Amino acid sequence: MTSSSSKQVISSSSATLQIKSKTMAIPTESLEVQIESPVDFASLNRNEMCLETMISAQELFPYFHMLNGPTYVELVKDFWVRAEVYDEEASMNEEIQAVISNPSLKGKTREEMGLETFNETEIRSAVMGVPITITEEIIAKACRTEASGRFL
């Protein structure tokens, strides 16, 4: 995980912008963004692959409609070269770094240390200075479905 010293925060009256360094040494121009193609249900039906009932039962039609939207390739690339996974291990490392920089914080809760509560694994990045966080719940909202169910 990238240390907090690699981030520069700019505050204004309306928002806080974050200039975040790249977390990978891959040149942006060498990245290729796979743009999803919409599913052609009519073609699938003609080939006797009727998936509409299954997709309807899972309430996934809004997701397939979303796939028809635009893809902003440069923003996607900018996001991924600055992305980092913030998981339970990263959360514990953040606490350790806080205690190393201020030993009086030892034994205190995350809130008492001035750190945000760790709820779930996140993908964190910044695009054009705007901090972006992706969680399972956000992906479910984007797919217009619930973040529930079983993983098999």
Can you spell out the DSSP letters for 91-107? Answer: HHHHHHHHHHH-GGGTT
122 confidence band (pLDDT: 50, 70, 90): very high
- Domain assignment present for residue 107? The answer is yes
Q: What is the pLDDT confidence band of residue 124, given thresholds at 50, 70 and 90?
A: very high
Q: Distance between CA atoms of 141 and 135, rounded to whole angstroms?
A: 10
Q: Is residue 119 part of a domain?
A: yes
Q: Which pLDDT band, with edges at 50, 70 and 90, does 85 fall under?
A: very high
What are the pLDDT digits (tens) for 88-106?
999 999 999 999 999 999 9
pLDDT in tens, 36-77: 667 777 788 888 888 888 888 888 888 877 776 778 899 999
- 51 domain residue, yes or no: no
Token pair of 28 as six digits: 């942006």
Q: Is residue 47 part of a domain?
A: no
Let me know if residue 34 belongs to a domain.
no
In a domain, 103, yes or no: yes
* Residue 122 belongs to domain spanning: 12-22+73-142
Tell me which H or E stretch contains 122. strand 122-127
Q: Tell me the per-residue pLDDT of 2-27, one tens digit each, with 9 for 90 and over.
A: 444 445 555 554 567 777 788 888 88
Query: 98: which residues sit within 8 A by CB, 6+ positions away?
Result: 105, 113, 114, 115
Q: What is the mean pLDDT of the chain?
A: 82
- Domain count for the chain, please give it: 1
How many residues in total does the chain contain? 152
Under a CB-based contact definition with an 8 Å cutoff, are residues 73 and 33 in contact?
A: yes
